[in-house]
Amino acid sequence: MKQGSYSGAQVAKQIPGDVGIVGIRWLGEGENDIVLDLSVADWRGQLICSWVTDLKIELDYGKYGGVIPAFDCEITQVEKAGWTIMFDLSPVGSVSLKCNELQLGVHKP
C-alpha cells in the first residue's frame, strides 16, 4: 500500500481482514472522534472515525498482549448514515462502532 491519506470508500478497500489493532483512543477531550492505530505486515496506519456512536469494545486479553490481530474486519457504508465498522478479534473479543466519516493515514514502519 502506498503511503498517504485515504477517505470514505477508499478506506474500506485498503484495510485487509487480518489487520492488527495496536491502540484505541479518543482524538481529543470531549470529542466524538476515535483513532484506531493499525498494523499490517508492510504498513502502519491511523484510522480516524468521526462522530462515533454505538461504540462497543469487548476485550479479554487473558494470555494475549501487544498487537491484537483481527480475525476479520468489515467496513460497510450505510446509505446517508455513514459507516459501520466491526473488528472480530477472536479469541480476544471485538470492536464495533458507527461513524459519519472515515480517514486512514498510512506510513511504512
* pLDDT tens per residue, range 45-62: 999 999 999 999 998 877
Provide the pLDDT for residue 82: 92
- Give pLDDT, residue 99: 94
Of residues 84 and 23, the one with the higher pLDDT is 84
- Segments in the chain forming alpha helices (H): 9-14
Range of the domain at 80: 4-107
Q: How far apart are alpha carbons 77 and 85 in whole angstroms?
A: 9
Q: Which of 12-16, 84-88, 92-96, 99-103 has the lowest mean pLDDT?
A: 12-16
The confidence band for 100, taking pLDDT boundaries of 50, 70 and 90, is very high
Residue 1 has pLDDT above 70, yes or no: no
Residue 80, classed as helix, strand or coil, is coil
In the chain, how many domains are there? 1
